[in-house]
């Protein structure tokens, strides 16, 4: 059944029996399936990093050195999760961590030359992943989908 058929059934269910509940018509279920498809595409193109690790590298490439906490906020990760991501990237030599000159409690994160090289190599693959994820949609549908999804985020 297509996504359009699912949406039609969801709308019809809203107009009909309130006790009629189909898991496959629920937003969380559909989002999870779409996410699983995207993660599978990600793994097929970028198998040596997790999506959170890629997100950290991509954001550091975009903004440069920043605090670990700020990076976590920018990539929608809690402090414990971003710490684990940074620890694993540091162990691989892709990022470096240093203490702030004034506030020694504040950890700064930056790409290493190896990290910069890796993300520059991976960005074209990430674009391909996005294209493949959105491939079932027309360009107009993809733009609308991303705009609406951003409203939910």
Residue 104 has pLDDT above 90, yes or no: no
Q: Quote the CA–CA distance of 132 and 22 in Å, as a whole number.
A: 28
Q: What 3-state DSSP class applies to 79?
A: helix
Percent of the chain at pLDDT > 70 equals 88
> What's the whole-number mean pLDDT along residues 29-42?
96
Q: Quote the CA–CA distance of 23 and 30 in Å, as a whole number.
A: 9
14 near 94, Cβ under 8 Å?
no
Q: Give Cα 116 to chain centroid, integer Å.
A: 19
> What's the whole-number mean pLDDT along residues 63-91?
96
88 near 53, Cβ under 8 Å?
yes
């Amino acid at each position: 059944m297509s996504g359009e058929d699912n949406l039609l059934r969801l709308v019809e269910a809203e107009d009909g029996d309130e006790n009629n509940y189909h898991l496959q018509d629920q937003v969380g279920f559909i989002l999870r399936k779409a996410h699983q498809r995207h993660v599978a595409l990600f793994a097929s193109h970028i198998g040596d990093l997790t999506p959170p690790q890629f997100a950290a590298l991509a954001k550091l490439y975009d903004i440069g050195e920043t605090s670990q906490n700020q990076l976590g906020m920018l990539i929608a990760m809690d402090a414990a999760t971003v710490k684990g991501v940074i620890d694993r990237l540091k162990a691989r030599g892709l990022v470096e961590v240093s203490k702030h000159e004034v506030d020694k409690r504040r950890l700064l994160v930056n790409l290493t030359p190896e990290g910069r090289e890796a993300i520059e190599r991976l960005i074209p693959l990430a674009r391909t992943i996005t294209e493949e994820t959105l491939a079932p949609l027309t360009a107009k549908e993809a733009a609308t989908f991303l705009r609406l999804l951003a409203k939910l985020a």
